[in-house]
A and B are shown apart, each in its own frame.
Chain A
Amino acid sequence: MNWSFKQRRAARRGATPPVPPAAGGARTRRKPVNFANFLTRQVFLFALVTFVIIVVDLGLTLMFSLYETYAENEAYRPNTATMLVGESLQQAEDGTWAVSQEAQDALDSLDSGSWAMLIDGDGEIAWSWRLPEKLNGTYSPSDLMAISHYNFIDEYPTWLWIRDDGSTLLLGEGPNTYLFYTLQFPTDRLLNYPLYVMLMLLVDALILFCMYAFTRRRAQKSVKPVTDALDALSRGQAAEVTLSGDLAEIGDRLTDVSRLIEQKDSARALWIRGVSHDIRTPLSLVVGQADAIARREDVPADVREHASAIREQGMKIAALVTDLNTAAQLDYDAKPAQTERVSPARVVRDACARHINEGFDAAYPLTCDINESASEVFVAGDERLLTRTLDNLLANARVHNPQGCTIEVSLAPAQANMLAITVADDGCGATTQQLEAIRARIARAQQTGTVAAAYGEEHGLGLVLVDRIARAHGGVFTFESNGEGFSATITLPKA
């Protein structure tokens, strides 16, 4: 519905190189509109509107004239009265003139300033009715011609009726009460007139269309901050709109809504933080006591085994709680990834050392290869979040390969000022369906801009969080499995 805006968006899309989508997730793009179709439709619409206007105008004209006609029905109009009086004047035996009753009624119904006189063949006044003093006199035939041509004697509008006996009846109204005009056309040109009318209508339509396009553009311009704000809101960002004029209220409302969403988000984040906080203390007891039982030598072996299972599961809950907290931070915090100078080499080394120090390298021997040119490079971001990506990838390799496998971690420069962190294992890998399922979940999280959307029938957030964190740092997360082993790569821009 908004063609120019869309066109600009399309142009912008075309102009920007395919960079990794920014944090907050890709939105569904609107389809571009066929401009020719749009124009045809609009012009047609305007032709229609113009036609309707003309029909309505004609109808109104007809209505008004009919109204006027009927309104005058009570009285006679001067030209009708002229005819009536002119026809009915009769000279009696004694030489005096008289009008019929009908003609007298017609005269009486005229306005107060009206008058009448009969000029005989010699130009003398033979009969008169309310004749103004000024008009008393003799009228030569050429006077009568002039009167007939101009319809005026001085400022008196005058109608004229030539009787069969050669006398002329003049009937007039008060000074300057009437206006006369005559139309003169060459008859052959008259045929062109419908064409001219059509042309006029076309020009009218054009003017209207320009007006329409202009107002539309203006409306779009004033609406743009609103659409921008809505876009920001849909990305989960705060929007503040200050508009002037008619749209000021809409702007204020939008700002209010944005603030409300922000409040809700922070309340939700606070709640999640609180819940995870409250889970941790009892969980410490569960894990600690289970560990104590698992280590007691005076307890039967199977009980110790159960206790250590409780301990492992407890630690799994702890990991889930941490994931939940991280997800809440990423989803609801205005600026999730604190930007500090982080050494990826250090993050990688720490995570690998932790893996080995915690004793995992017996079943999951690990090699760490940090490319020399990448070891002294920084990225801008949040060290804790980046550490989580490494921890999640290492945990992912362990969880999916209970039989054990070797893990290779590497940090190396990638194309175009990027750094690639890769965690690859030679374990059982993932099937095409499994890969598709993970990709679908990540896509869902990207589209909605919230990690929560990735939670569905499948549980756990590990790789979804890795993707989200990579994107929050302006990076990309990719993974593949050739059926034998699984390889995941986070590509991050250098600081």
Chain B
Amino acid sequence: MNANGQTTNARILVVDDERQLADMVADILRMAGWMRVDVANSAPEALSSIEEALTQGDEYQLFVLDVMMPDMDGFELLSRVRSMPAHAKTPALFLTARDAPTDRVEGLSLGADDYVSKPFLPQELTLRIAAVLRRCYPQADRALSLAACTVDLASAEVRRTDGTTAQLTAKELELLEVLARNAGRIVTVDGICEALWGTTFAYENSLMAHVRRLREKIESDPSHPASLVTVRGLGYKLVTKG
């Protein structure tokens, strides 16, 4: 487990034609706890590394790709990689020096899981990568420890400190997972609605209802929440223990 509460076992491939930058990204990831990071400096090099890893039976679990590369750009590389059955669902995160929204649309429609604009703060990058990995590789043992309970995210079971237990509904679990992925950070109501219903609008009231019911299960005093905190006017924040 690393600082982001995550297994550091994932094998990651960083592809950037700027050698120093690729190395730096790898260093950042290693410092954040992911020790199995490889670097490729071009798309062909990346493809051969990927195939080699496949033959070894130790395939990559995440790709960090630069968009602009001389022989083959990141978008094309990703579509090549995704055409391999073993990597059809492997998450990818783009590093790009562009900030135009069309890039974002292009990258995300190809199935990129996130997007980080250069220059980025190392912390931002590791947070995003952790979030992508958490989202794509649910862990068997996913326990969330909160002020008044622990939640087993795999079984959706809440074990409260007073000894009682409760079961979360699917939506409540989804809500808790969205907040847990961004633990300690505000998630806006828009962000939550989008994650839960795919759209932002007209779900605010049902969100409030779900929050109320979730609080009844995980808080010792639902009217004074200690874990699922409201940030007035903005959204919610999950405060985890430890």
Given contacts A277-B98, A288-B28, contact A346 B186 (CB under 8 A): no
Counting CB contacts under 8 A, is B152 at the interface? no
Interface stretch (choices B135-143, B156-164, B226-234):
B226-234
Q: Which of B212-242 contact A (CB under 8 A)?
A: 231-235
Q: How far apart are the CA atoms of A413 and B100 in the complex, in Å?
A: 30
Residue of A nearest to B17 (CB): A281
User: CB within 8 A of A353: which of B120, B123, B187?
Assistant: B187
Assuming the A-B contacts A292-B28, A325-B99, are A314 and B119 also in contact, with contact meaning beta carbons closer than 8 angstroms in the complex? yes
List B95-114 residues whose CB lies under 8 Å from chain A.
95, 97-101
A439 at the interface (CB under 8 A from B): no
Q: Would you call B120 and A357 a contact (CB within 8 A)?
A: no
Q: Which residue of chain A lies nearest to B116 when distances are taken between CB atoms in the complex? A: A284
Q: A292-B27, A311-B121, A350-B190 are in contact. Are A322 and B231 (CB under 8 A)?
A: no
CB–CB B121/A368 < 8 A: no
CA distance A292 to B28 in the complex (A): 8
Dominant SS among interface residues on chain A: helix
Q: How many residues of A contact B (CB 8 A)?
A: 40
How long is the Cα–Cα vector from A356 to B232 in the complex, in angstroms?
12
Whether B119 pairs with A288 at a CB distance below 8 angstroms is yes
Please determine whether B190 and A370 come into contact, CB atoms closer than 8 angstroms: no
| Contact status B201-A289, CB under 8 Å | no
- Which residues in B have their C-beta under 8 angstroms from that of A472? none
> Per-residue 0/1 for B11-30: is the Cβ within 8 Å of any A Cβ (1 yes, 0 no)?
00000001011001101100
User: CB distance B233 to A370 under 8 Å?
Assistant: yes
Judged by a CB distance under 8 angstroms, whether A349 is at the interface is yes
Determine if B233 and A369 form an interchain contact, defined as CB atoms under 8 angstroms apart.
yes
Whether a CB of chain A sits under 8 angstroms from the CB of B31 is yes
Residue-wise, chain A 360-386 has the 8 Å CB interface mask toward B (1 for contact) of: 000000011110000110000001100
Give A276-294 as 1s and 0s: 1 = Cβ < 8 Å from B's Cβ atoms: 1110110111111101100
Nearest chain B CB to A320 CB, angstrom units: 12
- Bound: A186/B64 CA distance, A: 114
Query: What residue in chain B is nearest A287 (Cβ atoms)?
Result: B119
Give chain B interface residues in 161-204, CB to chain A under 8 Å.
185-191, 200-202, 204
Q: Which of A285, A288, A292, A349 is close to B234, meaning CB atoms less than 8 Å apart?
A: A349
Whether, in the assembled complex, B44 has its beta carbon less than 8 Å from a beta carbon of chain A, the answer is no
- In the bound assembly, the distance between CA atoms of A175 and B201 in angstroms comes to 109
A257 at the interface (CB under 8 A from B): no
List chain B residues, Cβ under 8 A from A277: 68, 97-98
Q: Does A315 contact B (CB under 8 A)?
A: yes
A273 vs B68: C-alpha distance in the bound complex, in angstroms?
A: 13
| Known A-B contacts A280-B97, A357-B186; A368 and B118 likewise in contact (beta carbons under 8 Å) | no
| B5 within 8 Å of A (CB atoms) | no
**CB <8 Å contact, B233 and A367:** yes
Give the Cβ gap from A269 to chain B, nearest Cβ, in Å.
11
Q: In the assembly, what is the distance between CA of A356 and CA of B189, in Å?
A: 15
Q: Which residues of A contact B118 (CB under 8 A)?
A: 280-281, 283-284
Closest A residue by C-beta to B204:
A375
- How far apart sit A273 and B120, CA to CA, in the bound complex (Å)? 18
Size of the chain B interface, CB-CB below 8 angstroms: 38
Q: Which residues of A contact B186 (CB under 8 A)?
A: 353, 356-357
Contact present for A322 and B190 (CB under 8 Å) = no
Please name all residues of chain B whose beta carbon is closer than 8 Å to the beta carbon of A367 when the two chains form the complex.
232-233
Which interface residue of A295, A356, A383 has the most chain B CB atoms within 10 A? A356
A141 to chain B, nearest CB (A): 116
Closest-CB distance, A388 to chain B (whole angstroms): 10
- Alpha-carbon distance between A352 and B234 when the two chains are bound, in angstroms: 7
Residues of chain B within 8 A (CB-CB) of A281 are 18, 21, 97, 118
B121 touches A315 (CB 8 A): yes
Contacts of A376 in B (CB 8 A): 201-202
User: Beyond A346-B200, A349-B190, A353-B234, is A289–B24 a contact (Cβ under 8 Å)?
Assistant: yes
Interface membership of A318, Cβ < 8 A: yes
A306 and B115 alpha carbons, distance in the complex (Å)? 29
Asked if residues A384 and B119 are in contact (CB atoms below 8 Å), the reply is: no
Contacts of A295 in B (CB 8 A): 31
Chain A min CB distance to B68 (Å)? 7
Residue of A nearest to B184 (CB): A357
Q: Which residues of A contact B27 (CB under 8 A)?
A: 292
A356 to B31, CA, bound (A): 25
Highest count of chain B CB atoms <10 Å: which of A281, A314, A315, A375: A281
29 intermolecular pairs with C-beta atoms under 8 Å apart:
A277-B97, A277-B98, A280-B118, A281-B118, A283-B118, A283-B119, A284-B21, A284-B95, A286-B119, A288-B24, A288-B120, A292-B24, A292-B28, A292-B31, A311-B121, A322-B99, A338-B101, A343-B200, A349-B189, A349-B190, A349-B233, A350-B190, A352-B233, A353-B187, A353-B191, A353-B235, A367-B232, A376-B201, A383-B101
Measured CB to CB, the residues of B under 8 A from A are 18, 20-21, 24-25, 27-28, 31, 68, 95, 97-101, 117-123, 185-191, 200-202, 204, 231-235
Q: List 5 extra interface pairs beyond A280-B117, A288-B119, A376-B201, CB under 8 A.
A: A280-B118, A281-B18, A292-B28, A349-B188, A367-B232
Q: Which residues of A contact B (CB under 8 A)?
A: 273, 276-278, 280-281, 283-289, 291-292, 295, 311, 314-315, 318, 322, 325, 338, 343, 345-346, 349-350, 352-353, 356-357, 367-370, 375-376, 383-384
Q: What 9 A-B pairs come out closest when comparing CB atoms?
A: A368-B233, A280-B97, A284-B119, A280-B118, A283-B119, A353-B186, A349-B188, A346-B190, A284-B118
